[in-house]
Amino acid sequence: MVGDLQPPGGDVVETQTKLRFTDNVWRLYSLLVIANLLDLVFTYFGLGRGFFQEANPIAQAHLYTLWPLSMKAGGLTLLALGIYAALRTTRRSRQRRLLAFGAVALTVGVYGIVVVLHVVYLLTHWV
């Protein structure tokens, strides 16, 4: 019977919980991508208006090239591959899945703070 079908390796509730967890991790990753893009936009805006100065001497030499965008894209791509690998290899380990989720959530929080600081600094110096 159709109602008797069970997913391999577990019950329906456990599988649905894992799918929701995976969806939440990818939602957090989406927030991280948005925060990175906002960080890039606000940084360039602040640099262009003279509100910011780039403190990193390596980045300072390459500010108006494709290097910063390439570095962000490369880092986010590696993070996505790491998340994918962590979720695939930790299917049976709740503790490792929570660790992966916590790492992404912490990164989103840090970038969220960076974006808020950019906005506050721009607003206080622009207005």
Largest CA distance in the chain: 69
75 versus 87: which is more confidently predicted?
75
- The pTM assigned to this predicted structure is 0.71
Round to whole Å and give the CA distance between 88 and 52.
41
Q: pLDDT-derived band of residue 113, with 50, 70 and 90 as boundaries?
A: very high
Contacts of 42 (CB under 8 A, 6+ apart): 115, 118, 119, 122
Q: Report the share of the chain in percent with pLDDT over 90.
A: 4
Residues 64-73 have a mean pLDDT of: 84
Round to whole Å and give the CA distance between 5 and 108.
38
Helix (H) or strand (E) holding 31: helix 12-49
Round to whole Å and give the CA distance between 43 and 121.
11
Round to whole Å and give the CA distance between 73 and 75.
5
